[in-house]
Amino acid sequence: MKDIATPTRTKEILQKYGFSFKKSLGQNFLIDPNILRRITDTAELTKDTGAIEIGPGIGALTEHLARTAGKVVAFEIDQRLLPILADTLSPYDNVNIIHEDVLKADVAQIVEQEFVELDNLMVVANLPYYVTTPIIMKLLEEGVPFKGIVVMLQKEVADRISARPGTKEYGSLSIAIQYYMEAETAFIVPKTVFMPQPNVDSAVIKLLRREHPAVEVDNEKFFFTVTRSSFAQRRKTILNNLTNQLPEGKAKKDSILEALSKANIDPSRRGESLSLEEFARLANALYPAFG
């Protein structure tokens, strides 16, 4: 069976349906089957695994998922792609396309209905760049019961997700994702393997769910408020950021200094130098005064 993801076949499909790319939906279709094979290999799918895909496009990755996973459920927001997907994926009876914006969907409920008989669930997708972070955070925060996420996204975002303390890429996004998941960049994808070509290179990142969050915190929501506040202005000290960003921070500056001392953190440090463990200590020390 001919792969969808070759330049010739992709062009044929687009011409057949008179399809034109919508920039607003971040549509860039992969035209290299080898990259798709590497993505499914990274996800380690088996016939006992279910796969969720977001933004299947014309089905290039979807067909590779269908060949290796037990069942594939794909969310597609662009109605123009539905007849194309019905055509390109007709050889596979284990694929269900849902015409819905994944950001508005009740993904946990859909998973419950669609993947009853499968042991594991992986999210595998070539994500539209403009909604990468909201999609990943939604899946994490809504408790969708997946084992891991293997997604292709902008290289710069992948670098931020897998960044370590002390690097310029490290920030509140790194912490938010690494709190729930172990993160690693699997491989880099050049912009030349897409149609149309994006302006930047991409990366495939692999996130595996931790059995327990990376650190123990008294209140998750407040922990994330503290981490976001700490990076509000990267050049400012942790004390400065927390004073300016936390509610009533200026009035409670003494409480912030006391919490920093209790957490054994120098007030003149910057957010990017703090580890997850240090942020957890700090959030727990601040919580009585701000929670």
Structure-block tokens of residue 74: 């794909």
Q: Look at residues 50, 90, 91 and name the one whose alpha carbon lies nearest to residue 72.
A: 50
* Residue 87 marked ligand-binding: no
Q: What's the rounded Cα separation, in Å, for the pair 30 and 247?
A: 45
* Residue 119 marked ligand-binding: no
* Residue 55 marked ligand-binding: yes
* Residue 148 marked ligand-binding: no
Structure-block tokens of residue 248: 């009533």
Q: What's the rounded Cα separation, in Å, for the pair 47 and 265?
A: 49
* Residue 101 marked ligand-binding: yes
Q: What's the rounded Cα separation, in Å, for the pair 5 and 59?
A: 8
Buried b (16+ CB within 10 A) or exposed e, 183-222: beebeebeeebbbeeeeeebbbbbbbeeeebbbebeeeeb
Residue numbers belonging to the annotated binding site: 28, 30, 55, 76, 101, 126
Residue numbers belonging to the annotated binding site for S-adenosyl-L-methionine: 28, 30, 55, 76, 101, 126
